[in-house]
């Protein structure tokens, strides 16, 4: 079965990773960013080497987001970021493995990803099964 591991961040996280820190979220150093990148590359390679890797992508910062929603029956487009949203989807990895537990084990290894301490506490990932059709949806 396929599972999507969804990785979350905030605009503040993107800003601090790119050197634009704030008192609540100091800027990452080049070494911090390199360590995270090296870890993620190794994590993806391990999944690929095991035959469980399907796809992975990072997403641009929330400031580059557009939300489309209906208001009074008319589609309305709003540019991001959205102050009411504390976290947004930052990227994803799709794995194909034997069980939900195995997909969760893979995602749990993300906890070892190097990052400054102030950022580590905000890091989170969801693991969700990917359905093949609407008949696979369970409530």
Chunked in runs of 10, what are the mean pLDDT values of the chain (139 residues)?
94 88 89 95 97 96 90 92 77 97 97 90 92 83
> Could you tell me the residue range of the domain that residue 120 belongs to?
2-131
Using the structure block, give the residue that is written with the tokens 């989807």: 89
User: What CATH number does residue 39 fall under?
Assistant: 3.30.70.1060
Q: What is the pLDDT of residue 84?
A: 65
Q: What is the pLDDT of residue 6?
A: 97
What is the number of domains present in the chain? 1
| pTM to 2 decimal places | 0.87
Residue 136 in domain: no
Residue 83 in domain: yes
- Identify the helix (H) or strand (E) that includes residue 4: strand 2-9
Residue 32 in domain: yes
Residue 139 in domain: no
Residue 137 in domain: no
Residue 62 in domain: yes
Q: What is the pLDDT of residue 85?
A: 67
Residue 138 in domain: no
Torsion-angle region of 35 (φ positive above 0: left; ψ -120 to 50: alpha; else: beta)? alpha
Residue 64 in domain: yes
């Amino acid at each position: 079965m396929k599972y999507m591991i969804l990785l979350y961040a905030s605009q503040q996280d993107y800003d601090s990773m790119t050197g634009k820190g704030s008192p609540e979220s100091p800027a990452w150093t080049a070494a911090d960013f390199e360590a995270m990148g090296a870890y993620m590359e190794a994590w993806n390679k391990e999944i690929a080497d095991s035959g469980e890797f399907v796809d992975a992508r990072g997403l641009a910062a929330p400031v580059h987001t557009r939300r489309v929603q209906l208001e009074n029956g008319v589609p309305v487009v709003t540019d991001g970021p959205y102050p009411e949203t504390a976290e947004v989807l930052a990227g994803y990895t799709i794995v194909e493995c034997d069980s939900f537990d195995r997909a969760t084990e893979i995602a749990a290894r993300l906890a070892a990803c190097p990052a400054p301490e102030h950022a580590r506490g905000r890091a989170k990932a969801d693991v969700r099964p990917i359905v093949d059709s609407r008949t696979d949806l369970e409530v």
